[in-house]
Amino acid sequence: MKQTLTQSMAWLHTWGGLIVGWLLFVIFLTGSLAVFDQEIDNWMTPSCRPTT
């Protein structure tokens, strides 16, 4: 029984870590895009940059 419990916990830890890891990756990626929104807009449309 101990072997089965250990295997179950290892499986849960592996898949839980992968799911949480990908979720955090998506959150951090979208957060980075939100922080650099103006810079990304300027990079995507160089002809529409305001002149100073």
Of the chain, the percentage scoring pLDDT greater than 70 comes to: 88
Token reading at 52: 């100073």
| Separation of alpha carbons 28 and 43, rounded Å | 21
What does the pLDDT average to over 7-31?
97
Of residues 43 and 16, more confidence is placed in 16
The pTM (predicted TM-score) of the whole model is: 0.68
Of residues 31 and 44, more confidence is placed in 31
pLDDT of residue 51: 63
Per DSSP, the chain holds a count of helices (H) and strands (E) of: 2, 0
28 pLDDT band, cuts 50/70/90, is very high
